[in-house]
Chains A and B, each alone.
Chain A
């Protein structure tokens, strides 16, 4: 059974600092790994998807890395802004067509 963990559960940083969000998973036989953002009272917005054959994926200030052997993924957000304040979740399916297992999320607060 896949278990996905995100530590810490909450993070507060001053504006401009780089954010590092961690995601670990127990079963390395993942098909891909997806990072989402959730604003309070809203749905999930997909940020990045890394295929199992990839090591990293970049979109603007966001960079996600994947190390299957160690069961870890890291989301980096450069030069954080107050608008980056949200909960960030990672999720992984074990195989194509399989259900996503979500981590508990990291709640981020970027202080101006």
Chain B
């Protein structure tokens, strides 16, 4: 049990589908993150939320849409994805101090067909 739970663990979707990834943290953290991890590529930060407010969007395509209804929950809504979007999507949470480590979920393995 990592304290950060991601569902589903695996997802296969077609390019015309709409799906959502869910993340929930029970650690009382104020910040939540979405990362993308593709094979042979570095970890890519996609979105950051601090106290439910989005503070960073690293030029992520609009086919990825985050939602943070409260400090404990984070969603990533997906629509009209491309095969190159297939990756492991990791959610993390932390407090907002520089000394605060990130706590990661186990990720959602997404395959776009």
B and A form one assembly: no
